[in-house]
Structure 1
Amino acid sequence: MKPPKNCPQEYTVDKPAGLLEFLLRTMTGMSRNSVKSLLTRGAVSVGGKTATKHDTPLLPGVTVSVAPPDDPRHIDIAKHLRIIYEDEELIAIDKPAGLLAIATDREKTETAYHLLTEHVRRENNKSRLFVVHRLDKDTSGVMIAAKNERIKLALQDQWNTLVQTRGYTAVSEGVFREKSGTVTSWLKETKTHFVYSGSRPGDGREAVTSYEVIRESAAYSLLGITLGTGRKNQIRVHMSDLGHPVAGDKKYGARTDPLGRLCLHAGLLEIRHPFSERLLVFQSDTPKDFLALF
């Protein structure tokens, strides 16, 4: 007799093995990425204790339990990110630093896209999700995704018209002589994906960044930043151009890393809905560890 659907699946270890190795061998109907995702979400327990490490050692006789599909652990999205807003067409999230927006060659499941896809498939396993714009892995803050292709295409086709405000908070190294200003340059990108300002107007894609110093200490400045354009890495490049790279941004010249992360946060996105024309305002508070530096 099969156990009820809402009961966990239990397996008894027959020989010494690592947890991931054991699950792959035992759960033959699941892909490697799906099994890894179970571990990431905390849906697997060993001897009654949640286990997330792939190399957790297993000894013969130990019981490994996997939560059923409708168990909240399968989609414990709150452990990874916060949903700010959701309706039948859009999801806005507060992405933490360190979480990829989309998959890479090396990482398929530890992404905002993967987590949100599992979230929407809770109600309908055929649901799809579309990333409209991205944040760098080490940038935290507001990011939106579309729940159907119609709105995804509308947002992407009209992005620059629909977006009313994109606001960021950054911690930059040093003290600014000019407490506010606007930086304009033309950005270019090397084959190794390093973005830099061209040597003359028109030499690259125009990028406009406005900043204002909110707080300062002897070592750092807390900035409120508004984008006039949405070019790749433009804040990081422009702060470096000013001689005040974003703290933690070794790629663009930072000498310090006070928080073990890139100190850049997408705090505000105001966007006009492409069909209803309603103004949607999504916000995320400045990280407390940013403020603690001042």
Structure 2
Amino acid sequence: MVGVGNDYSQIRKAALRVKADLSVTVSGTTVNFDVSTDPSQPGLPIEIQRYDNGTWVRNVATGATSQAGNAATWSGSAANQPAGTSYYRAFLEGDDTNWADKSNYIVANYSENQSATVGSGSSHGVPPTNPTPSPVYDTGVVVTPPTTTPPTTTPTKPPTTTPTKPPATTPAGPAVGSIQFTRIQYNAPGVDKKTNKSINGEYFRLTNKTKSTVNLKGWIVRDAAGNLYRFTANYYLGAGKNVYVRTGKGSNTSSTRYWGKTKHVWNNGGDVAYVRTSANKTIDTCKWTKPGKGYTNC
């Protein structure tokens, strides 16, 4: 809404799409789910769906995001899941198939499909790409301001010529390769134990390869299994500087962050790491296919 004095334009509202990120783990016949949203939004209803040979089975698990620090997340599980490899997705559910929260103009979205294997058995089918909802983003005039009395003073005559304003440009955003994995210690030194010290022996290092500072807020790093680390607050990585992210728990510093996991994440025998922007643009990947020396410089 803009205006001069008491004269204002109408108010218009537009919808905001919220992205769901899903991480899946398996314990026996129980599948565990961790969901976060981007941007962070508490109170969003979540529905977990499972793909079963051409059909999405709904209401496998349900819940709603809750605020924890700078992030809105939800964790849940579903017992007695079918044996074999199934695919799951998280849907920001709402009043109908398009809106997660109509009153707040939040647009629903699906997470990426995540696989989970329970026991032994065949695959239940590879699902297609998730559909993209297409709601009406501009809801039109929703508030009309009160009529005001025009001012009695005579407005100043504008100049006869007006400088041409250059067209606005949209920044291209970080380029592929601007932030890179420069080391992943996927096998903690010594015998793997479930102690926090051993878990923190795993880490990955990101390096800013540009000549400018990059804000990593909203950026994520994930592995092939869907384990996800997110920079939830402003984190400015200077030109040529490194940031280390250790798998276990600890107190964050200017150069070292902690994932907060209670078990090792990276697979020693082979895995792949992705770093993506808050707009889900893949900036760099790092892959290894054998144990090797327990680390890779990508």
More strand by share: 2
TM-score range, shorter chain: under 0.3
Structure with the greater alpha carbon radius of gyration: 2
TM-score w.r.t. structure 1 length?
Answer: 0.24
